[in-house]
């Protein structure tokens, strides 16, 4: 069942089984606030099992860096605004992976990683990425990193 994320009240709906459900809900609400403030677009998530094509697309792009995650995906989201396809997956351990993929071949394309407040950096990132910190009223401290997508997907 789809869920329209409320960025004023960070609800754990769909994330209850995560050991960091509150922090992950804050991270998801932070994304919802961004898309509402910048694009006036509602952020809607779906259980990952209900939209396997979104997860498969993100996993295909991650293979550029030989990255696979053993974590359970809880929710996914996909939207298109201003000629950019955005895809998200929220994992049980508190990791968020998102893609920004311009539909214009000359536009920006990147994969972003965000870690919930208090989460350890997963071993898959050891020595590969540096994480910047960002404060959020909804999510506490978010640590994030990214890489530029080279291929066509």
pLDDT tens for each residue of 72-127: 999 999 999 999 999 999 999 999 999 999 999 999 999 999 999 989 999 999 88
Contact 74, 92 (CB under 8 A): yes
| Total length of the chain | 153
Where do the DSSP E strands lie in 73-131?
A: 73-81, 84-91, 95-102, 109-115
Q: Reduced to 3 states, what is the DSSP secondary structure of residue 86?
A: strand
**pLDDT for the residue numbered 17:** 97
State the Cα–Cα distance between residues 26 and 139, nearest whole angstrom.
Answer: 4
Contact 26, 45 (CB under 8 A): no
**pLDDT for the residue numbered 24:** 97
pTM score: 0.96
Whether the predicted pLDDT of 146 surpasses 90: yes
Burial degree of 152 (CB within 10 A; 0-12, 13-18, 19+) = exposed
Mean pLDDT of 1-14: 94
What is the H or E stretch that residue 23 is in? helix 21-39
Structure tokens at 121: 């950096």
Whether the predicted pLDDT of 23 surpasses 90: yes
Whether the predicted pLDDT of 1 surpasses 90: no
Structure tokens at 43: 């952020």
State the Cα–Cα distance between residues 87 and 55, nearest whole angstrom.
Answer: 9
Dihedrals φ, ψ of 14, to 5°?
85, -10
State the Cα–Cα distance between residues 104 and 116, nearest whole angstrom.
Answer: 31
Mean of pLDDT over the chain: 96
**pLDDT for the residue numbered 100:** 98
């Amino acid at each position: 069942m789809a869920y329209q994320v409320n960025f004023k009240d960070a609800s754990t709906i769909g994330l209850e089984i995560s050991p960091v459900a509150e922090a992950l809900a804050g991270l998801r609400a932070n994304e919802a606030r961004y898309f509402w403030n910048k694009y006036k677009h509602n952020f809607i998530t779906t259980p990952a099992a209900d939209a396997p094509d979104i997860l498969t697309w993100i996993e295909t792009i991650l293979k550029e860096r030989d990255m696979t995650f053993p974590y359970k995906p809880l929710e996914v989201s996909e939207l298109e605004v201003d000629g950019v396809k955005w895809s998200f997956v929220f994992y049980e351990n508190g990791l968020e992976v998102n893609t920004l993929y311009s539909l214009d071949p000359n536009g920006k394309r990147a994969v972003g990683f965000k870690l919930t407040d208090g989460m350890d950096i997963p071993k898959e990132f050891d020595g590969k990425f540096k994480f910047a910190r960002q404060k959020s009223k909804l999510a506490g401290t978010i640590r994030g990193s990214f890489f530029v997508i080279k291929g066509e997907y």
